[in-house]
Amino acid sequence: MLTTTTTKVLEPGELDDALAVLDRDPVANAFVAARVQVAGLDPWRLGGEMWGWYADGRLESLCYAGANLVPVCATPEAVRGFAERARRQGRRCSSIVGPAGPTAELWSLLEPAWGPAREVRAQQPLMVTSSFASEVEPDPYVRRIGKHEMDLIMPACVAMFTEEVGISPLAGDGGLLYQARVAELVGAGRSFARVDDGKVVFKAEIGAATPRACQIQGVWVAPEYRGKGLSETGMAAVLRYALTEVAPVASLYVNDFNTAARAAYRRVGFQETGAFMSVLF
């Protein structure tokens, strides 16, 4: 038994303990919880390692170490332990993302070794709702994208990613991993769009989903259609799908400087309940 504070990679047999930690905040932890509920703790299936921080043999905090480094319910002591492990291992992730407080602390410890970052987004409001009742009428033309429509939705997904992250998802491996992720969401029935004259003019995905919460991502309106309210009516439509078919609570996080999007999401019914932080490499 571990009798002192320490960190280690979780074993598959510790799944229940990991899920108990994730369940402490099902909204903020939706991304990691969704992966663990599908893949368990096997690193190959999970797409990364799950680190645990233990105090007197009890699992207290987690850190997902895959394409993203994500602290979960991380105490200051746990953050220090995770930072030390990450420094020894070297940077393998393309971003650090998570609740603003622990993520800022983690980055402050890693920046001397890993910095500089390409971009730091220190405050990304976390917005949550459990109701789609609002004055915004859902767009009746927003629909689920079918598996046969990958060629239709991919250009919009690439445009959104490039605009949001600042680099193309087609770089490096030619977009194979990104295309696989888009196909996964389409296949799961969690990709939605409005298509006018064969062109995607609005799109969004339910990116992470557990029985308790889901997270909407990738909200995008074609540039020539912006300013017409499509983000509000489109989001209202996606939110209706999310809350009636996926989970009782829906969330998203948005850049603090995107005041227009924050206002649109509030009109649909979202409320700001916290903040995330993203460090992009």
Do the first three CATH levels of 6-116 and 142-275 match, i.e. the same topology? yes
Residue 256: closest CA among 112, 119, 125, 99: 125
**How confident is the model over 95-141, as pLDDT tens digits?**
999 999 999 999 999 999 999 999 999 999 999 999 987 789 999 99
List, in sequence order, the alpha helices (H) in 166-252.
176-187, 230-241
pTM recorded for the entire structure: 0.92
What are the backbone dihedrals phi and psi of residue 127, each rounded to the nearest 5 degrees, phi first?
-115, 135
Residue 2 has pLDDT above 60, yes or no: no
Topology adopted by domain 142-275: Aminopeptidase (3.40.630)
Q: Which residues of 174-203 are buried (b: 16+ CB within 10 A; e: fewer)?
A: ebeebbeebeebbeeebbbbbbeeeebbbb
**How confident is the model over 53-88, as pLDDT tens digits?**
998 889 999 999 999 999 999 999 999 999 999 999
* Amino acid letter, 132: F
For the four alpha carbons of 66, 184, 136 and 159, in that order, the dihedral sign comes to positive
Residue 5 has pLDDT above 70, yes or no: no
Q: Locate the domains of the chain by residue range.
A: 6-116, 142-275
Topology adopted by domain 6-116: Aminopeptidase (3.40.630)
